[in-house]
Chains A and B, each alone.
Chain A
Amino acid sequence: EAQVTQNPRYLITVTGKKLTVTCSQNMNHEYMSWYRQDPGLGLRQIYYSMNVEVTDKGDVPEGYKVSRKEKRNFPLILESPSPNQTSLYFCASSRPTGVLTDTQYFGPGTRLTVL
């Protein structure tokens, strides 16, 4: 089954404790990205990757890091989480970059709470 998986689905942590949210897709997609969803703001892109070892900032990258060492995986790293990073996070993937009409496939989401 074609899918995007994220782990963990729920996470409660404390300020400053480094964490990683994993994202994996089994569709051989080149493009992957991370969004955060906040009430009244919709989804905003954090980082994206156009292929292995190619990443770039989205609209709200502050406080986040990513890496793309393998095509299928795109982890989101919070080196020192703060309460304003409490949010619902989605990973997404799609076919080759440049195909702007293509469907993006979303993971189930990770609900992060930073105390």
Chain B
Amino acid sequence: AQSVTQLGSHVSVSEGALVLLRCNYSSSVPPYLFWYVQYPNQGLQLLLKYTTGATLVKGINGFEAEFKKSETSFHLTKPSAHMSDAAEYFCAVSDLMGGATNKLIFGTGTLLAVQP
């Protein structure tokens, strides 16, 4: 079965500091990986996704993630945090074992706080 693990339910950084949110996956087949962001009182919004090809994926708002098969990781980074980045971030993998159901399997989320 596929699964996603996000290390750290809460991460706090200072404004201007590097943001690193960790995601590890488990999959017996090449995974399709996603990062979603949830701002307060809003739905989830896609930040970026990895399907095939280039392993460094750039997303919106200056975020990027690198697919590392050897480490089964898909960590999210941003060089310089802004106050507006404060949100909850979810890593997800497409459920490739469940047929063509388009289901996403989510991690438990990481709440990012940005201190002034």
Contact = CB atoms under 8 A, between A and B. Distances in A.
Contact of B102 (A35, A90, A97): A97
B101 A48 contact: yes
The majority secondary structure among interface residues of chain B is loop
Q: Which range contains the number of A residues in contact with the other chain?
A: 20 to 34
Nearest to B45: A106
Given A100-B32, A100-B100, A108 B108 contact: no
Q: Which range contains the number of B residues in contact with the other chain?
A: 20 to 34
A57 to B, nearest CB: 11
B94 interface: yes
Contacts of B9: 40
Interface of A: 4, 31, 33, 35, 40-45, 48, 50, 56, 58, 90, 92, 94, 97-104, 106-109
